[in-house]
């Protein structure tokens, strides 16, 4: 079996996933950047060739059982081990709760939660036999508190938080660490891949004014967003630290909000979030 440490990243085509692939490869990990449509990717190839990085691109759709199994089987047949799994694939569904269709909510959960579950369950038997490994789940500040228009996205991240806390107990006896990364606003293409619910786009929605104010609030907050590189550095720290923490906040904004969440009562925090969104 190859002794070189092996990292697998979902959602590796851009943003946090791409930057994480680069930083892990630059630090000696054989890195598999998985993505749903690798054939569309060109940016990663140029950097890999220019720096001679140990990054391999593998097709993996986290919403498809067969795709997940085939990808993990391929990686194991080639590398013989998996030491780090970074569950990063995800997107944000935006819209007031009443405007969300069940189909839209299910799609959000398929990627952000069930996708993470599929990949983790596919990797765990290998890590358990190795009696070592890191499961690094990219959650969000939205896994700590809610905000208007984010009920679907926020609830998937709350679920990721609870799932991670629970399996951390189960994995510890096998030498596997479970870690949560909680970014705030990050300057990535996440905003471009944001999905606005169909009904939320209609001017007749009773929530149209609220959603417009919320989107304006997002745009304002995004002006001071951190770079994806910040999150990738924190992921590398979590991957390499002999005694990693369960949670890592990523960004000055989310550090401030998390601090307020702890120090304020529920009404005070509710009013603070309303203020951020001009409500």
Estimate to the nearest angstrom the gap between the alpha carbon of 259 and the chain centroid: 21
Annotated active-site positions, please? Answer: 13, 139, 153, 157
Dihedral angle computed from the Cα positions of residues 148, 15, 106 and 167, in that order, rounded to the nearest 10 degrees:
-100
CA distance 26 to 116: 25
């Amino acid at each position: 079996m190859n002794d070189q440490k092996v990292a697998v990243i979902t959602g590796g085509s851009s943003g946090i996933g791409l930057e994480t692939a680069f930083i892990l490869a630059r630090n000696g990990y054989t890195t598999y950047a998985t993505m749903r449509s690798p054939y569309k990717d060109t940016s990663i190839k140029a950097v890999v060739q220019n720096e001679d990085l140990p990054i391999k691109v593998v097709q993996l759709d986290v919403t498809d059982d067969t795709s997940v199994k085939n990808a993990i089987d391929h990686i194991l047949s080639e590398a013989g081990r998996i030491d780090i799994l970074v569950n990063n694939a995800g997107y944000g569904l935006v819209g007031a709760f009443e405007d969300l269709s069940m189909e839209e909510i299910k799609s959000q959960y398929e990627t952000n939660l069930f996708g993470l579950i599929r990949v983790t369950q596919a990797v765990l038997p290998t890590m358990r036999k190795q009696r070592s490994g890191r499961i690094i789940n990219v959650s969000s500040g939205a896994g700590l508190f809610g905000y208007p228009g984010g009920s679907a996205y926020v609830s998937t991240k709350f679920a990721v938080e609870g799932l991670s806390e629970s399996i951390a107990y189960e994995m510890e006896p096998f030498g596997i660490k479970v870690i949560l990364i909680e970014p705030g606003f990050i300057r990535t293409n996440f905003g471009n891949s944001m999905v606005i619910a169909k009904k939320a786009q209609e001017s007749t929605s009773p929530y149209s004014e609220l959603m417009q104010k919320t989107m304006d609030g997002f745009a304002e907050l995004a002006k001071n967003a951190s770079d994806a590189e910040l999150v990738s550095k924190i992921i590398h720290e979590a991957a390499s630290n002999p005694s990693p923490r369960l949670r890592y906040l990523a960004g000055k904004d989310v550090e401030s909000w998390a601090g307020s969440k702890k120090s304020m009562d529920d009404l005070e925090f509710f009013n603070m979030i309303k203020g951020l969104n001009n409500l």
